[in-house]
Amino acid sequence: MSSVTGSGSGSADRNGPACTRGRLPVGTLSMLLPLLFLQLMVSVSGFEPDFLHPLENVTVAQGRDATFTCIVNNLGGYRVSGDSATARVAWIKADTKAILAIHEHVITNNARLSVTHNDYNTWTLNIRSVRREDRGQYMCQVNTDPMKMQTAFLEVVISPDIIYEETSGDMMVPEGGSAKLICKARGHPKPKIVWRREDGATIVSRGGQSGRPERLLSVEAEVLSLTKVTRSEMGAYLCIAANGVPPSVSKRLMLHVHFHPLIQVPNQLVGAPINTDVTLQCHVEASPKAINYWTRESGEMIISNDKYAMTEINNSYYSVQMKLVIRRFHKSDLGGYKCISKNSIGDAEGNIRLYEMEMQERVDSDEDTVLAEDVDGDGTGSNQDNDGSFNNGFQGPLTESNGPGVENVQESSSARPHSTNPLCSLSPLLFLLVL
């Protein structure tokens, strides 16, 4: 009986574990559930931080503000291995390895730097009044294991500035000589130098391979070389520096071309009736600026008064128009006049001769009337200026009065001989009645 009992017991022991194999007891499972939940919570909150957007390069003009923005996800619940503290964001100047800030605290001794955090996932590095030395690589770093980081470059651009101590000033050269104008500028990027003439005229380049002069509106070079300079190249030249960073800057240089005076007289023989105003003109070119004045043929200098009015009109840097107005022309004003110009290089003079002219009557035998010759077609029979003065006197049937020092002037071919007998001017009928 004991054998039966032992057999049954052994059978029961063998079957018992077989029925419960692969399952946990209820008590053990209730103890493991809180541990599993805790492990799950740690796993969820322990995702490694990652960057949401790349750090962007920044280009800013010197003196402006620059900003770097770093966005990091999953930073709050991450624990650094072997440390109970959460991970932190740091800003580093990569090229110098200098730590600028950690989290919200600035480490470097630079009052122009500041950091901000929006209490979520965005960290910002602010640099106020950027300087040239701020240029370089900046790093946003998270102290994970291994470390994570991203970098961006700060480019500081500087607007152009003329280096006056290395740039030419106003220059004086003799006509036919050479001039070298130099212009230097600083800035980042390096500025380009362009030369232009202030009045819009062309720059004459004679140094080309063709050997022929080239006329250019602008020349890009730090050095502008001018050869065989002429007086027409005199004037203001602009050196303009630009590098794409506003504003562009320029410097004005004056090129003075020196030469002795040259005088041109439009009318060397001027005639006008008595008691009219007569204008004499001379065109003067001179550089440096000349002293201009008028004299009589005898050398007597003319001064402005009630009788004479003198004016000068500047046409260009080196060209002047001289005018002498002789009021109430009289026989004593007949003769020669000189316009004289003198500068430090030389002098020149022009000569004008003034004579008296009278109108003549023409006898029209067909109409039996005496008609005045209409010279200029406006019925006035004169070449009078708008101001009432005479420039070239009369053209047509005019004669010159015989005054002292006055040359003979040939009569116009259309003029008829003037009879000195008053009876000759009468019509034939009146002439018979007189007889």
152 phi-psi bin (left φ>0, alpha ψ -120 to 50, beta other): beta
Domains and CATH numbers, the chain: 50-158 (2.60.40.10), 163-260 (2.60.40.10), 268-435 (2.60.40.10)
Look at 344 and 78; give whichever has higher pLDDT.
344
Question: Does residue 424 carry a pLDDT above 80?
Answer: no
Question: Does residue 291 carry a pLDDT above 60?
Answer: yes
Amino acid at 218: S
Beta carbons within 8 Å of 82's beta carbon, 6+ residues apart: none
Averaged over 46-61, what is the pLDDT? 89
* d(C-alpha 142, C-alpha 148), whole Å: 5
User: If you search the block for the tokens 């406006």, which residue do you land on?
Assistant: 378
Question: Does residue 125 carry a pLDDT above 90?
Answer: yes
* d(C-alpha 243, C-alpha 61), whole Å: 12
Residue 433, φ and ψ in degrees, nearest 5: -65, -35
User: If you search the block for the tokens 């640099």, which residue do you land on?
Assistant: 127
How many CB atoms are closer than 10 A to CB 255?
21
Question: Does residue 238 carry a pLDDT above 90?
Answer: yes
Specify the pLDDT at position 61. Answer: 95
Band (245; pLDDT cuts 50, 70, 90)? very high
User: If you search the block for the tokens 């390069």, which residue do you land on?
Assistant: 57
* Per-residue H/E/C for the chain: CHHHHHHHHHHHHHHHHHHHCCCCCHHHHHHHHHHHHHHHHHHHHCCCCEECCCCCCEEEECCCCEEEEEEEECCCCCECCCCCCECCEEEEECCCCEEEEECCEECCCCCCEEEEECCCCEEEEEECCCCHHHCEEEEEEECCCCCEEEEEEEEEEEEEEECHHHCCCCEEEECCCCEEEECCEEEECCCEEEEEECCCCCEEECCCCCCCCEEECCEECCEEEECCCCHHHCEEEEEEEECCCCCCEEEEEEEEEEEEEEEECCCCEEEECCCCEEEEEEEEEEECCCEEEEEECCCCECCCCCCEEEEEEECCCCEEEEEEEECCCCHHHCEEEEEEEECCCCEEEEEEEEEEEEECEEEECCCCEEEECCCCCCCCCCCECCCCEECCCCCCCEEECCCCCCCCCCCCCCCCCCCCCHHHHCCHHHHHHHC
Specify the pLDDT at position 144. Answer: 86
Specify the pLDDT at position 83. Answer: 52
* d(C-alpha 153, C-alpha 172), whole Å: 49
Band (103; pLDDT cuts 50, 70, 90)? confident
Average pLDDT, the chain: 78
Question: Does residue 22 carry a pLDDT above 60?
Answer: no
Averaged over 38-46, what is the pLDDT? 41
